């Protein structure tokens, strides 16, 4: 049987139908998919709504004999990623899950800080006042560094996280655009989230610590992430770091973005 590699999907923000449509339209049969987070599960929807949409996506994946593994992003309810929402072909995996595919190991670790967390909390307070069961922020959303688990990992070939180490794009400095420490972040600080920059820096430091530990015991080929809503590819210390844009499908074997016909 031909080695098909696998496909990595960028942030889709609740658009499960997009994934299902591409699987059908491109006839992506027998594939393994990985999702970088911001799958959108639990974000501004009820659990019933999410379960219905995920059941449909699972049905399509099963029909095409394909599997999708998903980590949590900052726009995902962490409670969906503790092993209680696992379908036959759609898998919402806990942090530090290792998936073996085609004889290679993929490490998956989710979590990230929402830069708009202050306004999200205020929105949820408004919903609560109206007795609406909706959520768009979770206190345990950030990346959680677990050195003990990392130090025991060997033979990791690929890494998938939602955010990224501090030395990869985008660099956290004041000249670097809206998704790092540029004017948009500064405005949020002025509007009352005075710890935002420090927390973002700490999270990138923690993911860098993860990189340092893994780099000591593994030969990593590629590191995929999302969160920043653009595409960027760069090679650093022999590892290809690939930032996926929203709704992007990246075929690892073909080294291409998978487009609809």
pLDDT at 2 over 80: no
**Beta strand spans in the chain (E):** 7-9, 32-35, 67-70, 90-92, 97-101, 104-109, 158-161, 222-225, 232-236, 239-243, 249-251, 256-257
Confidence label for 256 from pLDDT (cuts 50, 70 and 90): low
Average pLDDT over residues 156-176: 87
Give the pLDDT confidence score for residue 210 in this predicted structure: 98
Reported pTM:
0.93
Give the pLDDT confidence score for residue 182 in this predicted structure: 67
pLDDT at 226 over 70: yes
Report CA Rg, the chain: 18
pLDDT at 178 over 80: no
Residues in the chain: 261
Check: CATH 3.30.830.10 for 7-257? no
pLDDT at 63 over 80: yes
pLDDT at 259 over 90: no
- Return mean pLDDT, the chain: 92
pLDDT at 177 over 50: no
Confidence label for 153 from pLDDT (cuts 50, 70 and 90): very high
> How many other CB atoms are there within 10 angstroms of residue 61's CB atom?
23
pLDDT tens sequence across 16-41: 999 999 999 999 999 999 999 999 99
Give the pLDDT confidence score for residue 261 in this predicted structure: 41
Confidence label for 187 from pLDDT (cuts 50, 70 and 90): confident
Give the pLDDT confidence score for residue 83 in this predicted structure: 86
CB of 26 closer than 8 Å to CB of 234: no
Instruction: Name residue, tokens 């499908």.
Output: 249
Average pLDDT over residues 33-60: 95
């Amino acid at each position: 049987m031909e080695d098909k590699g696998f496909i990595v999907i960028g942030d889709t923000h609740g658009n499960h139908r997009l994934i299902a449509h591409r699987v059908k339209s491109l006839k992506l049969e027998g594939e393994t998919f990985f999702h970088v987070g911001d799958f959108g599960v639990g974000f501004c929807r009820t659990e019933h709504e999410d379960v219905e949409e995920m059941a449909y996506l699972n049905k399509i994946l099963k029909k095409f004999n394909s599997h999708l593994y998903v980590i949590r992003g900052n726009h995902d309810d962490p409670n969906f990623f503790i092993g209680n929402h696992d379908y036959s072909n759609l898998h919402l995996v806990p942090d530090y899950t290792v998936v073996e595919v085609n004889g290679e190991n993929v490490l998956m670790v989710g979590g990230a800080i929402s830069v708009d967390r202050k306004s999200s909390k205020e929105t949820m307070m408004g919903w609560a006042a109206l007795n609406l069961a909706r959520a768009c922020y979770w206190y345990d959303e950030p990346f959680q560094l677990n050195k003990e688990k990392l130090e025991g990992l060997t033979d990791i070939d690929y890494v998938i996280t939602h955010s990224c180490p501090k030395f990869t794009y985008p660099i956290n400095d004041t000249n670097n655009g809206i998704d790092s420490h540029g004017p948009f972040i500064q405005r949020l600080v002025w509007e009352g989230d005075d710890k935002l920059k420090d927390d973002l820096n700490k999270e990138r430091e923690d993911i860098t610590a993860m990189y340092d530990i893994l780099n000591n015991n593994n030969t990593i080929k590629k590191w995929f992430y999302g969160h920043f809503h653009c595409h960027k590819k760069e090679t650093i210390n022999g590892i290809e770091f690939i930032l996926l844009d929203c709704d992007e499908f990246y075929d690892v074997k073909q080294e291409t973005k998978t487009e609809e016909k």
